[in-house]
Structure 1
Amino acid sequence: MNGSKHPTNLPGHEEEEREASTGTKLSPVCLDEDMKEQSTPTEELRNESFPKSFSLTESKLGMLPHSSSATSSAKNGSDAAELANSNPQSSNEAERTVLLKKLMEKSAAINSTVADRTISRHGRSNQRWIIESDSSEVVRLVTGCVPILKGGKIMLVSASKKKEWILPKGGWEKDEELEESAIRETFEEAGVMGVLGPKLAEIKYETRKSKKRRLESSSASEDEQVNRVSDHGDKGDASVQTQKSAELSLDKRNDAVDAGKDKSKDTGPGSTGPREAPKIYSHVCAKLFPLYIKEVMSTWPEKGRLRKAVDLDQAIELLVERPEMQSALLEVRARRLHLV
């Protein structure tokens, strides 16, 4: 959600003129007629949402398999991550009940702070980034939710640039706790609020742009090597050139951030990554939660997006081109988190 806002199907020049006149990036507006026809009306979503009296209980979540990769967030004080880390077969039921209560209270408190938002946060200067110490990869941290309706249905939203349905997510900002960011992003993009469930496994993936650059660079290097061997019959020169290409690629990646940055892997509120938002990043680490929808808004910051309620299996099929989001849905299904 955070960052550039490009209305779907809006001509480029018109978009630039509108952004120039307002001085800000525009919120996405889906104009695709097919997606409009597929979307679910607000009133229908409200009818399928959980009642305001709904609450998560140990009896609903206590026997569900736990997430195996919420450790780092648990260290940073995330109630949802701590709940996800607790093994339902061995944890004290009273302790898990307390965690569930804290999570519901935190969700309610955060909902009250975001409910009056009329515009989305823009820009990436205040977002969280890390640099992997072993690979020097620049990683953007994002949060979001898997919005869940009664009967186990999943609510998707239209993407900002392409004709596709996605899960709401966006950049995790430095002044937010993990749960706060996830709820805010979901409200801004999807216009729904509710109660968070246990944190899902973290998902790290390469961005589409980075993958495209990597494949193009690899292809260019191979062509370069073949041409050099063919022209000079000197495999040694080709090897040297390939090494230089690799070194140049690494230099470009290092140029994306200021020199001397802390390469700590800590992703919590106290983490220190690049002092400024990198111009280039290669990977994303997504931290997602189930969100049991209790309130559906008719007006929200990115109301130009469309919303669609589908069965979980259909949602998984719709996200076939988004394997990182698809994996979150597969975990929800495996842990039966949609069947509370």
Structure 2
Amino acid sequence: MFAPRPRFGSQTPPAIFPPVLGALGLGLAWRRAADPFGMPSAAGDLILGAITMFFLFMMVAYGLKLWRRPKVVAEDLRVLPGRAGLSAAALSVYLLAAALVPLIPALAEILLWAGLLLQTGLVGLLLWLFATGPAEQRRVTPVWHLHFVGFILACLSAVPLGHTGLATVLLYATTGVALAIWAASLVQMLRQRLPAPLRPLLAIHLAPACLIGTVAASLGLMPLALAAAAVAVALLAALLVSARWLLAAGLSPLWGALSFPMAAFASLMLALAAALEGQAPGEAFRIAGGIALVAATLAIPPILVFVMQLWAKGRLAAQTNAARA
């Protein structure tokens, strides 16, 4: 007898979302390249348009799973790839809002508040699971940046929409949280050996520094922006030096965690290049931004294709312990 064919969406893995978050960030980075390099914003718009359709398809797929059995959300949040994936899905809403600000501001406004509501609800559920679940789930991981620092992504649309007060509060609050997570993670790394399969997640530590710098620059807080850039450069250098150790486990779905930090670093460099245009540091940031953008463009699409192929072949859910509806 043949096993019944699973219904579409019955085991949609949350691990599909991190590389999409990175691809959306790549589109925004290409849009930022319009000022420092005098390029048309069409390249960024094309990337954002294509990935938006892809993201909506994924949301429908996961929505079907959720509709069939709502408890799958709590089950997916009990495993690290699930927590990272669902947080990336919520954060992608912020990037969609940022992408739509120059095109449809009213829709961007709706998505901004929808993203805040969605992430707040997700964090609330996560905190409840931490409080009631085993102690292992409460271990600080780089994914905590997605949960608790990810609110800073709302600033990418809040600032151009005129919500500078909200953006300022989110900037300072998430900066404090990021510092706490970095400190706790450093202590854990000194005390414990990180398994090779989980090491790609360390790249997530780069993203908060990049976002803090980008948002600070958009608010005119250049000392904070430059300090965050210094931290981002130091973290990137550490990641590059340890790349062989970081990727020792080989290609895996967790490589999706590499995508968004790369796009975020390119955006930071380009944002500082625009903010410091005509000054010597601005030219240095422009060159760094161009190199980072090319590197991100070469790396993020293959990671996205790899993860999508695993999903299409039905292997991604098993490899990431995704719950079944």
Give the TM-score taking structure 1 as reference length.
0.26
Give the TM-score taking structure 2 as reference length.
0.27
| Greater helix proportion | 2
The structure with the largest alpha-carbon Rg is 1
| Greater strand proportion | 1
